[in-house]
């Protein structure tokens, strides 16, 4: 049965009439047209569907829309500001930290959650905290480099 679910999506208040059991990924992709979160395993394993809820990475395939009521949801579409890419996005491009790109939005959002907590994560910290985000293209070393480069940009005054 549909009910009103209100939450903040990429900084804007939203209220949707939706089945509260509907997976968040299908609300984002299907109902709202935000296709940055990718559907990979559908079982909470690969991390391709990662978004942030209250600043924490969650699997949107394994999260019901009702669970985000009253919370802040950030998708990859919410990272750029005024047409300017976030330093993490810039660093991923500059370091060529992807091949097919299927894992990339989830990787960037997981990295963003790290950088919300620490300004200078070590490579080991990045690996440990992003270990559950899988990349089938083997871009891991470049991803770690990109996260460190973005951390440097942000320490230097980027957002
Ligand atoms: S699609 Fe959600 S974790 Fe794989
Ligand atoms: S770049 Fe292809 S899955 Fe990571």
DSSP notation for 4-15: EEEEEETTEEEE
Phi-psi sector, 127: left (phi>0), alpha (psi -120 to 50), beta: alpha
- DSSP letters, 34-50, are ---S--SSSSSSS-TTE
Whose tokens are 């070590």? That residue is 122
Probe residue for ligand 1, chosen from 23, 37, 48, 75 as the CB with the greatest number of ligand atoms within 8 Å: 48
pLDDT at position 80 is 94
Burial class (CB in 10 A: 0-12, 13-18, 19+), 154: middle
In short, whether 136's Cβ falls inside 6 Å of ligand 2 is yes
Q: Report whether residue 41 contacts ligand 1, using a CB cutoff of 6 Å.
A: yes
Question: What is the per-residue pLDDT for 146?
Answer: 98
DSSP 3-state percent helix, strand, coil across the chain (nearest 5): 40, 20, 40
Task: State how far the Cα of 129 lies from the Cα of 17, in Å rounded to an integer.
Answer: 35
What is the 138 CA–ligand 2 centroid distance (Å)?
Answer: 7
CB of 40 within 6 A of ligand 1: the answer is yes
Give the residue carrying structure tokens 């949107």: 60
- The whole-number pLDDT of residue 97 equals 98
pLDDT per residue rounded down to tens, the chain (159 residues): 899 999 999 999 999 999 999 999 999 999 999 999 999 999 999 999 999 999 999 999 999 999 999 999 999 999 999 999 999 999 999 999 999 999 999 999 999 999 999 999 999 999 999 999 999 999 999 999 999 999 999 988 766
Please identify which residue in the block is written with the tokens 């500059």.
Answer: 94
Ligand with the closest atom to the CA of 143: 2
Determine if residue 32 is left, alpha or beta; phi over 0 gives left, psi from -120 to 50 gives alpha, anything else beta.
Answer: alpha
User: Given the CA of residue 107, which atom of ligand 2 is nearest to it?
Assistant: 4
Output phi, psi for 103, to 5 deg: -85, -10
Assess whether the C-beta atom of 92 lies below 6 angstroms from ligand 2: no
Size of the chain in residues: 159
Cα of 25 to ligand 1 centre, how many Å?
Answer: 9
């Amino acid at each position: 049965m549909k009910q009103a679910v209100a939450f903040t999506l990429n900084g804007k208040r939203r209220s949707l009439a939706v089945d509260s059991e509907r997976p968040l990924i299908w609300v984002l992709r299907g109902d709202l047209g935000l296709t940055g979160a990718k559907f990979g395993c559908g079982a909470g394993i690969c991390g391709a569907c990662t978004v942030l809820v209250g600043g924490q990475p969650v699997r949107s395939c394994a999260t019901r829309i009702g669970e985000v009521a009253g919370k802040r949801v950030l998708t990859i579409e919410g990272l750029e500001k005024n047409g300017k890419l976030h330093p993490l996005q810039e660093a991923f491009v500059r370091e060529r930290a992807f091949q097919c790109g299927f894992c990339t939005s989830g990787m960037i959002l997981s990295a963003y959650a790290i950088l919300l907590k620490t300004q200078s994560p070590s490579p080991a910290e990045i690996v440990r905290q992003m270990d559950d985000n899988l990349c089938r293209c083997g871009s891991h070393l470049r991803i770690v480099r990109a996260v460190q480069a973005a951390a440097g940009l942000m320490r230097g005054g980027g957002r």
